[in-house]
Amino acid sequence: AFERLTGLAQRFFGVPIALVSLIDIGRQWFMSNRGLGDVRETPRKVAFCAHAIQSTEDLLVVPDTLDDPRFRSNGLVTGAPHIRFYAGAPLVCPEGYKLGTLCVIDTKPRPGGLSLMEKQNLKELAALVMEAMVNRRKERMALAADRSKVVRCILRRMYTHTFIYIYI
């Protein structure tokens, strides 16, 4: 699901890079990565997405990274992959926490940023990513509950047979 959504984002926005990223205390890691090759994580200190989840806005759009003092000396701007445009929508879980982003990245600046429709598309794609994450969590919890039932059933049978054996 995540690969399909980043593929859609990549095509919708005509960008070489689209990511589903999660942010923890020291790093950003990618649940889905279109366009960055085998890169699976980056340090949080260089992560654009860390800025997106700290923002009070519902999107972080950086039309030209060289014009933004937060990013102009960032190694991801000055070196590979040479980020010049970034737009990220936070992934907000049902409990209200920002876990990461769905972001689109270009190696060319976009002076106009995103149109109103593009902003809405990015937010809705991010909501679909979050929905897929919630569904995945529910499936895993259901699987864990099923496994727990099987273990309890086995233990109950073992206990019953042991109890009967002791009395025989």
pTM (two decimals): 0.83
Measured distance CA(6)–CA(167) in Å, rounded = 63
pLDDT (0 to 100) of residue 142: 82
pLDDT surpasses 70 at 102? yes
Residue 62 exposure: Cα atoms within 13 Å on the Cβ side: 26
Compute CA 152 distance to the chain's CA centroid, rounded to the nearest angstrom: 35
Closest by CA to 53, choosing from 22, 83, 26, 17, is: 22
Peptide bond into 81 cis (omega under 30): yes
